[in-house]
């Protein structure tokens, strides 16, 4: 049974990773980066302040940060050393020669679970529950899924790595929300999440413009 799922994971990876194009290579590598999204994170912080006020917003931001940090640490320091599953693009992996990579980027040695997926979903779940906005929830989960897809595109994670990482991140994100639920009960009804959407979408467009020009 385990062999069946492992083989299925390999087939899914090779299929999705095979849907590549040279024009998408630099975009996916940039999209997968962490620092490129600093503007969106800042916009999220501003929205939290606008919606809940400074005191509550600091608590909420701390909860989101801790959820992300715990997701990352649990995935990288506990789960990965235990399972020691090689990344698809790792040269010691027999399928590495079949994997499309970008700019010789192969990631670290082990990839199960994906820290990118864990961190993205920890942020998405905790912030979506706090803000309770349908537009924001739809946007941030699309963003998190695209983060995951970029890791498959780059050949550094299997689908299983991403699914388990997303589950870990979602769990810590939900726990982060539970710890701050009393602070989330009263908020400014006139507040809007549009700044996060605008900055996030603008960042996606900016990545393309930087690559083209």
Mean pLDDT rounded to a whole number for the chain: 95
Longest Cα–Cα distance in the chain: 56
User: Is the CB of residue 102 less than 8 Å from the CB of residue 88?
Assistant: no
Tokens 């087939």 locate to 11
b (16+ CB within 10 A) / e for 55-67: ebbebbbebbebb
- In this prediction, residue 143 carries a pLDDT of 98
pLDDT at 213 over 70: no
Tokens 């400074």 locate to 54
Q: Please write down the HEC assignment for all residues of 78-143.
A: HHHHHHCCECCCCCCCCCHHHCCCECCECCCCECCCCHHHHHHHHHHHHHHHHHCCHHHHHHHHHH
Of 57, 38, 55, 46, give the one whose Cα is nearest residue 193.
46
What does pTM read for this prediction?
Answer: 0.95
For residue range 179-212, what is the model confidence (pLDDT) as tens digits? 999 998 888 877 899 999 999 999 999 888 878 6
Residue 57 corresponds to which tokens in the numbers above? Answer: 């917003």
- In this prediction, residue 34 carries a pLDDT of 85
* Cis peptide bond upstream of 196, omega within 30: no
**Mean pLDDT of all residues in 60-74:** 98
Q: Is residue 22 classed as helix, strand or coil in its secondary structure? A: coil
Evaluated on CA atoms 82, 88, 92, 94, the torsion sign reads: positive
Question: pLDDT band for position 47 (50/70/90)?
Answer: very high
User: Is the CB of residue 122 less than 8 Å from the CB of residue 170?
Assistant: yes
For residue range 147-188, what is the model confidence (pLDDT) as tens digits? 999 999 999 999 999 999 999 999 999 999 999 999 988 888
pLDDT at 138 over 70: yes
pLDDT at 1 over 80: no
Helix 159-180 to helix 2-17 angle (10° resolution) is 90
């Amino acid at each position: 049974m385990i062999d069946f799922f492992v083989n299925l994971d390999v087939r899914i990876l090779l299929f999705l990773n095979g849907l590549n194009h040279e024009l998408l290579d630099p975009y996916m590598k940039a999209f997968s980066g962490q620092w490129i999204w600093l503007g969106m994170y800042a916009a999220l912080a501003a929205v939290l302040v606008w919606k809940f006020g400074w005191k509550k917003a600091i608590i909420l931001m701390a909860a989101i940060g801790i959820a992300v940090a715990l997701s990352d640490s649990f995935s990288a320091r506990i789960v990965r050393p235990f399972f020691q599953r090689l990344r698809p693009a790792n040269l010691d992996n027999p399928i590495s020669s079949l994997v499309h990579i970008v700019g010789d980027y192969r990631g670290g040695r082990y990839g199960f679970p994906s820290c990118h997926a864990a961190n993205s979903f920890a942020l998405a779940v905790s912030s979506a529950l706090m803000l309770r906005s349908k537009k924001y929830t739809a946007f941030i989960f699309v963003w998190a899924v695209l983060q995951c897809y970029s890791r498959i595109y780059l050949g550094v994670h299997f689908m299983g790595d991403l699914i388990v990482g997303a589950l870990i991140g979602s769990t810590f994100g939900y726990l982060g929300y539970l710890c701050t639920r009393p602070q989330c009960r009263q908020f400014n009804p006139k507040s809007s999440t549009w700044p996060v959407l605008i900055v996030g979408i603008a960042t996606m467009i900016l990545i393309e413009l930087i690559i083209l020009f």
